[in-house]
Homo-oligomer: A and B are copies of this chain.
Amino acid sequence: MVWSGDKCRVILADEPGFDGWCRVIWSDHVRELSDLAGPDRDHFMAVVAAVERTLIALLQPVKMNIAALGTAAPHLHFHVIPRFETDANFPAPVWTERRHTTSRLDRIALAERLRSAFADAVI
């Protein structure tokens, strides 16, 4: 866990070949984004945007990807994924076959940097 608030939390995913892939997870059980009332949706997306902004500042990715799928695990969460030319399958969607599973950054050290950055971020 790299950030935790009253209504949602942020984890650094363990996705070999992708550095900085985060998940923003809503705490209460809801299936879909549209199940949230407007103010909750605004808050949730503000957290998603803050995570995106923080990852951009820290890692300078080529592009960000955002997705809420949950077809297998129907509990509201957003993937926030920095994309790099060196990642596992750039520029294809991350869910296609991975050409490699080599991460360039140490995940434990990156989690620590994210914790510090999120502590300073306005969420």
Please report A residues at the B interface, Cβ cutoff 8 Å: 31-34, 36, 38, 41-42, 45-46, 48-50, 52-53, 56, 62-72, 74, 83, 90-93, 95-96
Could you tell me the distance in whole angstroms from the C-beta of A103 to the nearest C-beta in chain B? 19
A92: which B residues are within 8 A, CB to CB?
71, 95
Could you tell me the distance in whole angstroms from the C-beta of A87 to the nearest C-beta in chain B? 10
Contact check, A33 vs B66: say whether CB atoms are below 8 A apart: yes
10 A-B pairs with the lowest CB-CB distances in the bound complex, closest first: A93-B95, A67-B67, A34-B52, A34-B49, A71-B91, A34-B53, A66-B68, A65-B69, A42-B42, A45-B45
Q: Which residue of B lies closest to A97 (CB)?
A: B96
Show 7 A/B contacts (Cβ-Cβ < 8 Å), sorted by A.
A34-B50, A45-B45, A63-B70, A66-B69, A72-B91, A93-B93, A95-B95
The 8 Å CB contact of A65, one of B38, B71, B91, is B71
A67: which B residues are within 8 A, CB to CB?
65-69
Could you tell me the distance in whole angstroms from the C-beta of A73 to the nearest C-beta in chain B? 10
